[in-house]
Copies of this chain bind each other. A is one copy, B any other.
Amino acid sequence: SRERLLQSTTFNRKTLRKDPLLPSLSKTDKHIGVAIGEWILDLNSISHLFNGPLLKDKQHVFKEEKLNSFMGLTKPHWLEARSTIQSLLDISNSALQNDTNLRERAFVKQSEAKMHVPAEIGDYSDFYSSIHHATNVGIMFRGKENALPSNWKHIPIGYHGRCSSIVVSGTPIYRPYGQTLPVDGADPHFGPCRLMDFELEMACFVGGPPTSVGQRVTAKEAEDKLFGLVLMNDWSARDIQKWEYVPLGPFTAKNLGTSISPWIVTIEALRPYIVDNFPQDKPPFPYLQHDDNFNFDIKLEVDLRPESSPVATTICRSNYRFLYWTVKQQLAQQTVTGCSLRPADLLGSGTISGDTSDSYGSMLELSWKGTKPLRLLNGEERKFLQDGDTVILRGYCLDENGIRIGFGSCEGKLLPAIPFQE
């Protein structure tokens, strides 16, 4: 069965295109790992095999419980790690093949692992970079004339989010209590959120050594600072958001829990799936300009599985490529006034909506503010999320040769509100 294991990983060479990294391994401590089909290669147990010129003195980064130290190295380090792993998995490489003991420690079944948030996130920002999403929201709340805010095509708009509430896929989310204004001009109301929503997003982990306060990173310089992508669900309490967000932006409507997938797919692994950037009508200011394509064809889907049924309904099919602003431009905006970066900072893309009504990345848009309920496969209808609903984001890339890399899934179940007791 050991043989089969190694054959299966070498046979499935396409899985080498995928080099996401996993942070957890045993019940007692957390390990960093790489996904190989159904298995995880535990980098902690093979850290001594990273003997390339850059990593041979840095093997300790693979012994840590989080990816921060590895992310804090440089792109050449990340590339060397990738090629070392690829070579270790080659059938002609004897380091793993011939060491039964090591092999046994090094491979862990994904089904037997508990996943964690892969890094200690120092700061998390969320952007608003999908033009279709921003336009939809604008039409709903400001009318067709002024759908896009006047700054939107000049600035990759973003805001700071809450790191403590970032949770790994699988963590349940509680419907929040909060203040809302059911009737304009009347008194606000306090109670469970009535317009609970998800947001289909992807988020990019920052890598590279920390920068200093005062230091800008332009879009042209951004590449070395971008480590890899995860799926993200920015759970949103729409009614709470509407009442609180003027003038300082979303706050408690967005800090009730933000789910990310545990597998980080590195930028390098995504390179075969680069596509043209979204056309930008106005050339942005130079700090936001970069010459290369840095958009990715990542197919995204959202399933909703109601409590009453084992059957999930796919309610959205979108694509990362619909983003107007690239993640290089987001990073340039994040730092333009001198905001410093630390490895494992997280940049959320904003809700990723396409231009057709089945590609919208939130219930707000899919049900058009609740005016067009969605019908689920089991016959139920949804305007917003109901207690017991599980929301599942999935993402994958597929090239002409059928080579596929997957982001796994980012899921979470919405639990009923915890009653407020005075």
Which among A39-47, A69-77, A308-316, A330-338 touches the partner chain?
A: A330-338
Q: Does A256 interact with chain B (Cβ within 8 Å)?
A: yes
Say yes or no: A337-B252 contact (C-beta < 8 A), given A213-B165, A257-B214: yes
* CB–CB B252/A249 < 8 A: no
Q: Does A278 interact with chain B (Cβ within 8 Å)?
A: no
* CB–CB A149/B237 < 8 A: no
Q: In whole angstroms, how far apart are the Cα atoms of A247 and B157 in the complex? A: 9
Q: Does A11 interact with chain B (Cβ within 8 Å)?
A: no
Count of chain copies: 2
Residues 294 to 335 of chain A near chain B (Cβ within 8 Å):
333-334
Residues 381 to 422 of chain A near chain B (Cβ within 8 Å):
418, 420, 422
Which among A57-65, A97-105, A170-178 touches the partner chain?
A: A170-178
Q: Does A80 interact with chain B (Cβ within 8 Å)?
A: no
Say yes or no: A164-B340 contact (C-beta < 8 A), given A251-B159, A422-B286: yes
* CB–CB B165/A340 < 8 A: yes
Q: In whole angstroms, how far apart are the Cα atoms of A188 and B227 in the complex? A: 32
Q: In whole angstroms, how far apart are the Cα atoms of A214 and B154 in the complex? A: 37
A131 shortest CB reach to chain B, Å: 15
Q: Does A255 interact with chain B (Cβ within 8 Å)?
A: yes
Which among A30-38, A87-95, A238-246 touches the partner chain?
A: A238-246
* CB–CB B179/A155 < 8 A: yes
Q: In whole angstroms, how far apart are the Cα atoms of A283 and B347 in the complex? A: 39
A291 shortest CB reach to chain B, Å: 12
A330 shortest CB reach to chain B, Å: 11
Say yes or no: A336-B216 contact (C-beta < 8 A), given A151-B243, A154-B188: no
CB nearest neighbor in B for A282: B187
Q: In whole angstroms, how far apart are the Cα atoms of A286 and B340 in the complex? A: 39
* CB–CB B422/A164 < 8 A: no
Q: In whole angstroms, how far apart are the Cα atoms of A324 and B174 in the complex? A: 30
Q: A147-169 vs B: 1/0 string, CB under 8 Å? A: 00101001101111111110100
On chain B, the residues within 8 Å of A25 by CB distance are none
Q: CB within 8 Å of B: which residues of A?
A: 122-123, 125, 128, 149, 151, 154-155, 157-165, 167, 171, 173-174, 176-179, 181, 188, 190, 193, 210, 213-214, 216, 237, 240, 243-253, 255-257, 285-287, 333-334, 336-342, 345, 418, 420, 422
Listed A/B pairs (28) with beta-carbon separation below 8 Å? A123-B164, A125-B162, A125-B251, A128-B248, A151-B181, A151-B244, A155-B179, A158-B248, A159-B159, A159-B248, A160-B251, A160-B255, A164-B345, A165-B213, A174-B214, A176-B338, A190-B286, A190-B287, A214-B256, A249-B249, A249-B250, A251-B333, A252-B333, A252-B336, A253-B337, A255-B337, A287-B420, A338-B418
Closest 8 pairs (CB-CB, A-B):
A249-B249, A176-B337, A255-B339, A159-B248, A256-B337, A160-B160, A174-B214, A252-B337
Q: Given A177-B287, A252-B333, 4 more contacts at CB 8 Å?
A: A163-B163, A171-B213, A177-B336, A216-B420
